Structure 1
Amino acid sequence: MAGRRRWSTDEILDTAAELLRTSDAESFSVRKLAAALGTDSSSLYRHFRNKTELLRTVADRILVAAMDGYRPEGDWRQRITAVALRLREAFGQQPQLAAIWGRYASGGTGSRLVMEEVLQALQASGLPEEEIPACYHRIVILLSALIASEAGIGTLTPEEYEQGMEQFRVAVLGADPERFPALAHFAREIRPLGADRRTAFEEILAAHLAHIESAIP
């Protein structure tokens, strides 16, 4: 009787990424992954100690892909913006993994590539050395929050999105002006969360980088 096939680490990660296209971290399990591969869970634990390590590794591959071919260009703000847009685009193609990155983080090669470039850009900015780690930390938290938020909307079906838009219209345009006077006043100018995400992403990031620049001696 032929032995059960041995799957490589890359094949396991490819299958996990495919499963995560249609599920989230909570519903994903090593057992489901093993079933998709036609093997048992114990064989996968030879590659990964647990589900969290597996998810971190899958998310880290997105970071590696985002940084593939990257070359630093421009000043420090342009470099950080370029990295941010690369991450946004990469996770936009697989939005389920954006929440995983924000939740579990990563310590793999992709994470180190992002960390190195952002830290080098901050060094080039002229910030005092002692302020750079804290600035780096805030930038990464901002990016992970923005990317995860946008990705969450990207996972909605057209029906779910339209249902949300209808609820938004009812909540905003139907607001009682006596109870919600400000909301009623701005109702026709308030935009739903999913509108014009790219511009909002770039403006929020630019504002944060401008704040950092204002602290440079």
Structure 2
Amino acid sequence: MPDSEHVPNGERVPDSERVPNGERVRVPAERKRRRPTSSGVVLSADLIVDTACRLIDAHGAQAFTVRKLGAALGADPSAVYRYFRNTEDLLLALADRLIGESMAGFTPSGDWAADLRDFGLRAYRSALRHPQIAVFSTLRVTGRPHEQRAVDTGVGLLLQAGFDEPTAVRHYHALVDTVLGHAALDAGVLLLAPAQRAADERAWHAEYGTLPAAEVPSLHRVRDHLPLMAGSAVEPTLDLLLTALRQEAADRAD
């Protein structure tokens, strides 16, 4: 049996696919052809990503290993490394899959601000459909085709609005970080135990709603509206940002 080395999550890499610095060599294209697993399923990069997505959705990223992925595929875990350099490479592919999902069917209407709102909410909703993945994918730069297309689309809408190149990039950065920041936060909330979420929601009624005016006059004044704090702020925040961008674009056009 050839020697092997460890890779993330305790999996092992065959000696034949190692290089001196420990990085995995990207496997030549001819070895990445679709091939059946022991269960008769034809293995492919898309199938691996689909299966990994399903496993993480169900059990969380912390419980995910390539060994479990191989078992779900009905394949030896080492087969995954014919398509992905390592676990990190696979997780970035998962993050890029969410971006591609968010962009599916996106069609600009000609109103750049309305299109940016749709663009942003698509990214947010895609992340919330996969909260177990969103808690790490929202932090990463994939450098892959879906992300490249998304960045090109978002920056392009801001250039269409009349912003110069550096300003378009800065505003895109502000918009996407706002949306993904809310996605990461709200994904974390979704992953709380139901009892924890219910307790947090009740607190806006029970604890905050009964505070005396003499001690916290502003909170007492708005007490009937504090339950709004239990929901997501992504849409009002995005609308505030887009209102500011519309005004800046109008000022530039004058």
Pairwise TM-score range, normalised by the shorter structure? 0.7 to 0.9
Q: Describe the SS at the equivalent of 1:89.
A: helix
Q: 1:171 to 1:46 in 2, by over 3 A?
A: farther
Aligned match for 1:139, one of 175, 188, 196: 175
Aligned to 2:185: 149
**Percent of pairs with identical residues:** 27
* Map of 2:240 onto structure 1: 207
AA at the equivalent of 2:244? H
- Residue 95 of structure 1: CA displacement? 2.3
Specify every segment of 5 or more residues in structure 1 that has no aligned partner in the other structure, as ranges.
none
Q: How many residues align?
A: 213
Structure 1 segment 119-138 matched on structure 2, within 5 A: 119-138=155-174
Residue 96 of structure 2 contacts residue 142 of structure 2 at CA under 8 Å; is this kept in 1? yes
Gap change, CA 1:129 and 1:104, over 3 Å in 2: closer
| Structure of higher RCO (CA pairs closer than 8 Å, 6+ residues apart) | 1
Deviation at 1:64, TM superposition (A): 1.3
Which of 192, 195, 200 is 1:164 aligned to? 200
Counterpart CA distance in 1 for 2:65 and 2:213 is 48
2:63 match: secondary structure: coil
Counterpart of 2:45 (choices 2, 6, 9) is: 9
Tell me how far 1:134 sits from its aligned partner.
Answer: 1.3
Matches within 5 A, 1:42-121: 42-121=78-157
Worse-matched range after superposition: 74-83 or 100-109: 100-109
Greater shift in the superposed pair: 45-54 or 136-145: 45-54
Does the CA-based 8 Å contact 1:56-1:100 persist in structure 2? no
Indicate if the aligned counterparts of 1:153 and 1:194 stay in contact, CA closer than 8 A.
no
Give the Cα–Cα distance (whole angstroms) in 1 for the partners of residues 79 and 213 of structure 2: 62
Q: Return the index of the structure with the highest Cα Rg.
A: 2
Distance 1:67 1:203 in 2: 22
Is the Cα contact below 8 Å between 2:57 and 2:131 reproduced in 1? Answer: yes
> CA 1:37/1:184 → structure 2, altered by over 3 Å: closer, same or farther?
same
The 8 Å contact of residues 96 and 155 in structure 1, kept in 2 or not, is answered as yes
Normalised by the length of structure 1, the TM-score is 0.82
Label 1:169 to 1:49 Cα distance change in 2 as closer, same or farther (>3 A). farther
CA-to-aligned-CA distance 1:118-145 (integer Å, 9 cap, x gap): 1110011111223111111111111111
Pairwise CA distance, 1:210:
2.2
After TM superposition, the structure 1 stretch with the greater mean CA deviation from structure 2, 86-95 or 185-194, is: 185-194
Provide Cα deviations, 1:44-83, integer angstroms capped at 9, x if missing partner: 2232222222122112112212212221113210111111
Q: Does 1:33 align with 2:69?
A: yes
TM-score by length of 2: 0.72
Aligned CA-pair RMSD:
2.7
